[in-house]
Homo-oligomer: A and B are copies of this chain.
């Protein structure tokens, strides 16, 4: 639920919708993505539920902006969600695997092209986890030494992404080989 991603971010500091979109884009994107429009709508719902309050700030040479502050109710709600145990495995949805499942309808070439394109994309994603995201975490650790404990959790999340991409690439390589070995 996007609601808890936003509350989680707001638990650190007051933010605007625009800033929350940036937060999602550089940090949680890989585990929970959201469109701008959805963020603004969810913020409205959060305020209606009194989990946050907003205040409009006038700015010089910039559009006005609406800052959201988390309330105690919001913190309680977030914490209740966080400690609530997950008793099932999260179902995955992967259109590439579905395509492969019904791949007898496809010719070998277009299938291989698709798999190789995905390999390139996942390779880029892996690189991101190994360089840019590590750098991001290091930067905020340097700037905010009091967030050291937090940064460890962020790195565990990052590591999930890194391992996920490693396995996916391994699977793609294996799959490409198996398909290349198949008779036409």
In chain B, what residue has the closest Cβ to A87? Answer: B117
Q: Does residue A114 face the partner (Cβ distance < 8 Å to B)? A: yes
Instruction: Name A105's contact: one of B28, B82, B85, B157 (CB within 8 Å).
Output: B82
Which of B83, B94, B153 is close to A110, meaning CB atoms less than 8 Å apart? B83
Secondary structure at the A interface, as helix, strand, loop or mixed, is helix
> Is B167's CB under 8 angstroms from A166's CB?
yes
| A104 sits at the interface (CB 8 A) | yes
A104 and chain B: residue at smallest CB distance: B150
- A60, CB-defined interface residue at 8 Å: no
Cα A99 to Cα B160 in complex, Å, equals 13
**With A114-B85, A166-B167, A174-B159 as given contacts, are A79 and B92 in contact (CB-CB < 8 Å)?**
no
Q: Which residues of A contact B (CB under 8 A)?
A: 1, 4-5, 8, 11, 27-33, 75, 78-79, 82-83, 85-106, 110, 113-114, 117-118, 121-122, 125, 149-150, 152-154, 156-157, 159-160, 163-164, 166-167, 170-171, 174-175, 178-179, 182
